[in-house]
Structure 1
Amino acid sequence: MAQQTKTYHHILAAFMLLTRLPLWRVVRVTDTAFRRATDYWSLVGWLTAGTMVVIYWLSMLIGLPTIVAIILALLSRLILTGAFHEDGLGDFFDGFGAGGSRERILRIMKDSHTGSYGILAFVIYYALAIHSLAALPPNLTLIILGVGDPFCKLVASQLINTTPYARQVEESKIETVYKRMSIPTIIFSFAAGAFPLFLFLPMYYWPAILIPVLIFVALRQLMMRKIGGYTGDCCGATFLLCELGLWLGVLMMSRGQ
């Protein structure tokens, strides 16, 4: 019973940290539970992906243009997460774009102000995201919105399992350093992240899942070389870039049909 309660609190902590759902109003979890938030990051992806799918489907149902439906779908996730991952994307590009010493990169990434590299990253990221999704057949866009989010959260969460934390604990932005997953939670995370993809994505597009994996490997190498590990911003940036890579990969493969 104690283990079930602990798991329940870890799942709630994941949804509290990674979304704006006001669960804290009805339940209280310990601070240490937030250190296990990434154990269930791919499960949170079911909610964020499901929200995008519903908003996209409803927008198309009422006759809105495809590109408007995509923007509204992406906006719904932004609102649900409080732009949590986008904050990481901007800080990541500001820090690594400016370059310099390890200490300088980490200092820039911790600065709450968004610099020119971060702004450019937002513009380029959303331009590619919106136009790549709009170029897909609507049914395939619906599928890729639903399966890409959990899978790429699974991929990005492996930073915690394979990479040391780059800062001191007290220097963390959210004052929490994630713990590495146990074997059971790794299995659960893989199941939650990969199951929707293999259930809904046509087999023809399965090779596209290699692109997020390659992006993950490249980004991890960059982080190890530049700052000796990962930060929370690195996790958010890795997730979004892996997801964008999957969308672009599916788009390229769709052109070959």
Structure 2
Amino acid sequence: MEGTMDTETRERRKVLVAEDDPFTQELLVMELRDAGYEVAAAPDGKRALEMVRDWAPDLVLLDIMMPELDGLSVLREIRSTERGASLPVILISARNAMDDKLTGLAEGANDYLTKPFDMREVLARVALQFRMKELEAKALEVERLRAVLEMAGAAAHELSQPITGALGHIYLMLNTEDAPDGRKLVSVEDLRAAESCLRRARETLLKMQSIRRYSVTEYREGIRIVDINRASDAE
């Protein structure tokens, strides 16, 4: 069952093979499909860029020496787009000198494979890139949840005092002795105080609604909350 689920997950992952050599392209496409990935191929750099834009692959295997547009130029174009900035790209090249590898990585490649390659290594490196993306997504989700908890803690902290104050004044008004004719004797000062407390609570909620950037402060040992007073509505 576990193997089946893994294959089903891979089928949703799209791999683009950008390779001009027909034999190498066919080998990569066949092996990746056998491994359960959805695969498409591009014979040159220009077509590779078009497919990155239109087909939206989850990973690109990119040969450096290609017609129309070389692999490094394709990589630069990919990295210049919002989606392409985080798209896993593995360079493939017959150049195995350290300077060539460092150049490829400096241009933004996630990995670098040299020809001739072992398909077991190719599949392992592709799987590793997807695993790293999964871990990155989980880390982002944990960070989002932590931000929600910190914001909730800030809300409880900031709203507790004005709401408690308003409830206290309302309690006093409700428990004030009635006038001889049965009317409630309500203090204007208590009404104003309750209004002030509720206004503070409303202002706090509006400020929290507009927060885009924030810092946290230690509330109690092991508990952090958003510092409302140092938060900003700027991106």
Bin the TM-score by the shorter chain. under 0.3
Structure of greater Rg: 2
TM-score normalised to structure 1 length: 0.23
Structure with more contact order per residue of length (Cα contacts < 8 Å, sep ≥ 6) = 1
TM-score normalised to structure 2 length: 0.25
As a proportion of its length, which structure holds more strand? 2
